[in-house]
Structure 1
Amino acid sequence: MRLRQIEVFYAIMTTGSLRAAAEVLHVSQPAASKVLRYAEQSLGFALFERTGGRLVPTREAQIMLPHVNTIFGTLSDLKRLTDNLRYARDGHSITIGCVPSLGLSLVPRVIQRYHAAHPGTELTVDTLHSTEIISRILNHDLDLGIVFGDYVYDGVSSHHIADVPLLLIDGESREGPVMLRQLDPVRYIGLSENDPTARLLDMAMEEAGLCAAPSVRVRTHYMAAELVRLGAGYAIVDALTVLHHPGLPKPQALTPPLHMACRVLFRADYALSHISQDILSLLRNELDVALAKLSH
């Protein structure tokens, strides 16, 4: 099948009629019908049955559809890539992805400072989970990804920015630092098992002999902190979330202390642009300022 024939087939499958498909493709209905007829002739089997004035997909068409979806997904990726290349050609744009907890704490401050100093630069920021960030970096959709944890992927490089402490927040206040084995597993609000912080905590709790199987798990540190604020239990989250989430109980340090690495990810085959380097410098500076507040 030629690409135009695939486009007509896909449009009919998604809109449900030849008339609607022609409108989507901005062609006449007879022209769309002609392309469909040629497609069926080249394939040697029918794609649609004509029933009561309607086009009903054949079994063969239903089998083909997932493969056609893949083709259009690839075409969509290609369009995003060409857009990125076109708009970034002058070197005055950057696209950043960050995990949600950093998107609600550190990254807005970095973006505000950079934008104030470079108002002509186009800045695009998405909050995504780490696996999405890595996928989009490899797909040329992101210039930089800011994450927690350690990641080793072919084609992706990383810069270590800082080690961010993990802190206990609990409405039932206690003097810190707190040992993990002192915690009540029943009240524990856990993080998603896919979160690198959750994996670190699960191992640390197991080593401390604490059998913690939280009845509530959430995907973001910010939501865990909000549940603590509402009195649902206690959580262990990154220090940046604690610093930027109002109304939380006084955070407590853990003993032994636990930290999560904050890293910036980027494509291994590209040198960092001057914009990326400036963003990295601001990230380090803002992290130093934020972490210094913990000692006061």
Structure 2
Amino acid sequence: MNVRQIEAFQAVMASGSVTRAGERLSISQPAVSQLIAQFERSCGFRLFNRQGSKITPTREAEALYNEVQRMFIGVGQIARVATALRDQNWGSVSLGAFPAIARRVLPEIVWSFCEAHPDTRFRLESMRSRSLIDAVAAQHVDFGLSILPGDRPEVISAHLHRLRGVCILPAGHHLADRRTIHAHDLADEDFVSLGPQDHSRFMIDRVFDELKVARRSRIEAGQSETAFSFVAAKAGVAVVDPISAFNNDDPRIVVRRFEPAVEFDIWLIRPKAARSFNLVDSFVSFTLERLDLFASTLNAA
């Protein structure tokens, strides 16, 4: 018993004729008859009753045909999945990203890709860069976007972009009319700091420490989104990454350029030992193209 014999049997049952089965398979009528005879010998029972040129399937053939049909449906599904894999239209992708980009930028990128690639599934996790690097190293996610380069031998890091931090102030603040806020301008101002676990906190503090500018830092916010809420409540001013401030539509907050530059890097983190997967590679390329456009918009602001 082989696949060609099963194909001949399926074609005869579906078409009701040896001649039409031959046309469907692009082989001669005698070749179909020979395949059917071989298949009957393999099965050990008769599949068709023959009356001249007319053939009628036996009850055994009808029972067997139901199983053959299920097999062909499975083969068809395999073919469809293979085609979808080739076209990057099937499969799952998992990624981790630092909170600001996970909330503000990636959802639109992921959904745009989903719309163009049906039958794909995504898992997006928001996590701090240290945890993200560990997750990529352990291959819990396919790749990550981090503000820090990977410091583990299991990952590969590629620098993508460098963005300038911004100053956010309450609307109506006495500095809000300025286009650029210098660190000296914030001397003795109420200041909302990021939490000590946030790498950005150290970069921002270093700027003020080097210039010997004293602030009134009474509030710490675990994430930049929380810092926005405090600034909106007029608890103080803050310096944050530009992604968090992108398309700010809160009338209680104004966003201004900050000097001297506090620079935020974006790194692509991928596992070194991961096997290549076309869908992941395609989505990474798609994401990097969108991030290029996004970074150009931010840097032009």
Q: Shorter-chain-normalised TM-score: which range? A: 0.5 to 0.7
Does residue 239 of structure 2 align to residue 240 of structure 1?
no
Question: Which residue of the other structure, out of 190, 193, 196, is the alignment partner of 1:190?
Answer: 193
Tell me, yes or no, if the aligned pair for 1:105 and 1:244 is still in contact at 8 Å.
no
Amino acid at match of 1:268: K
Give the alignment's Cα RMSD to 1 decimal: 2.4
State the distance in 1 between where 2:216 and 2:198 align.
15
Q: Does 1:256 align with 2:255?
A: no
Residue matched to 1:126: 125
Shift of 1:213: 6.2
Conservation of the 8 A alpha-carbon contact between 1:106 and 1:286: no
Aligned-residue offset at 1:219: 1.9
Deviation by residue 1:2-22 (Cα, 9 ceiling, x = unmatched): xxxxxxxxxxxxxxxxxxxxx
Give the aligned partner of residue 228 of structure 2.
225
Distance (whole Å) between structure 2 residues aligned to residue 97 and residue 185 of structure 1: 38
**Paired residue for 1:18?**
none
Q: How many residues are treated as equivalent by the alignment?
A: 208
The secondary structure found in structure 1 opposite 2:136 is: helix
Cross-structure match for 2:140: 141
Deviation, 1:285, is 3.0
Q: Secondary structure at the match of 1:239?
A: coil
Deviation at 1:257, TM superposition (A): 2.1
Q: Which amino acid aligns with 2:93?
A: I
Percent of paired sites with the same residue:
16
Q: Is contact 2:245-2:255 (8 Å) kept?
A: yes
| Cα distance, 1:128 vs structure 2 | 1.4
In the alignment, structure 2 segments of 5+ residues that lack a partner are 1-84
CA distance in 2, matches of 1:290, 1:238: 14
- Cα distance in structure 2, aligned partners of 1:185 and 1:265: 39
Which one has a bigger Cα radius of gyration?
2
Task: Work out whether residues 176 and 254 of structure 1, in 8 Å CA contact, stay in contact via their aligned partners in 2.
Answer: no
SS for the counterpart of 2:161 is strand
Say whether the 8 Å CA contact 1:162–1:261 is kept in structure 2: yes
Note closer, same or farther for the CA distance 1:258–1:108 as it changes in structure 2 (3 Å cut): same
Is 1:114 the counterpart of 2:113? The answer is: yes
Counting only pairs closer than 5 Å after superposition, residues 22-33 of structure 1 correspond to structure 2 as none
5 Å-filtered alignment, 1:1-296, equals: 92-171=91-170, 172=173, 173-212=176-215, 214-247=217-250, 249-270=253-274, 273-294=277-298, 295=300
- Report the alpha carbon displacement of residue 232 of structure 1 after superposing the two structures with TM: 1.7
TM-score (norm 1): 0.63
Q: What is the TM-score of this pair, normalised by structure 2?
A: 0.63
Mark the CA change 1:247 to 1:141 in structure 2 (over 3 Å): closer, same or farther: same
- Cα–Cα, structure 1 residues 198 and 290, in superposed 2: closer, same or farther, change >3 Å? same
Deviations 1:138-194 (A, max 9, x none): 222111111223342221211222112210011211313221122134411111122
Structure-1 separation of matches of 2:265 and 2:254:
23
CA distance in 2, matches of 1:185, 1:133: 36
Give, in whole Å, the separation in 1 of the partners of 2:276 and 2:211.
42
Structure 1 gaps of 5+ residues are: 1-87
State the distance in 2 between where 1:213 and 1:155 align: 42
CA distance in 2, matches of 1:191, 1:233: 12
